[in-house]
């Protein structure tokens, strides 16, 4: 329980308006509305509460400062837990592998890039960000 509380504190802290952290939304539908207004794709980070790899990805890869500004500028970011099936459309983004990152077009909710399944390091993640073609 303590680990979950610490994770929650970290994500809430990351939701600050500074460019040193990714601005996270907790609800997919709300984030999609904002993405459509701002004409930005979504980046959905889906994790499982008991997944060590999910925590590692959140703290090590998604907290890497070299590309946070790029993410905040180009994406609306959503973080969701697999266990909280009301926070994202599970029928569209179903998986049993965690963590997973989806890059989603705001127009039709199609995938912009193949899902990133499992933990990857910051250098790999940065390379993927450079490959994504924003429409």
- Domains in the chain (CATH in brackets) are 22-131 (3.40.30.10)
Beta bridge partners, 24, equal: 77
For residue 15, name the pLDDT band (cuts at 50, 70, 90). Answer: very low
With 70 as the cut, is the pLDDT of residue 95 above it? yes
With 50 as the cut, is the pLDDT of residue 17 above it? no
Identify the pLDDT of residue 6: 43
Cis upstream peptide for 99 (omega within 30°): yes
With 60 as the cut, is the pLDDT of residue 3 above it? no
State the SS3 of the chain.
CHHHHHHHHHHHHHCCCCCCCCCEECCHHHHHHHHHHHCCCEEEEEECCCCHHHHHHHHHHCCCCCCHHHHHHHCEEEEEECCCCCCCCCCCCCCCCCCEEEEECCCCCCEEEEEEECCCCHHHHHHHHHHCCCC
Identify the pLDDT of residue 66: 83
pLDDT digits (tens, 9 = 90+) for 105-132: 999 999 999 999 999 999 999 999 988 8
With 70 as the cut, is the pLDDT of residue 11 above it? no
Identify the pLDDT of residue 34: 97
More confident residue, 64 or 11: 64
pLDDT digits (tens, 9 = 90+) for 33-91: 999 999 999 999 999 988 999 999 998 999 878 889 999 999 999 999 988 877 787 66
């Amino acid at each position: 329980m303590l680990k979950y509380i610490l994770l929650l504190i970290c994500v809430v802290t990351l939701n600050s308006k500074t460019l040193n952290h990714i601005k996270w939304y907790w609800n997919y539908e709300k984030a999609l509305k904002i993405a459509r207004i701002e004409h930005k794709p979504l980046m959905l980070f889906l994790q499982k509460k008991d997944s060590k790899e999910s925590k590692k990805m959140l703290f090590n890869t998604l907290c890497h400062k070299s590309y946070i500004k790029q993410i905040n500028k180009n994406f609306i970011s959503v973080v969701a837990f697999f266990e909280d099936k009301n926070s994202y459309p599970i029928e569209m983004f179903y998986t049993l592998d965690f963590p997973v990152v989806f890059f989603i077009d705001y127009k039709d909710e199609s995938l912009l890039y193949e899902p990133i399944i499992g933990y990857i390091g910051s250098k790999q993640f940065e390379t993927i960000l450079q490959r994504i073609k924003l429409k």
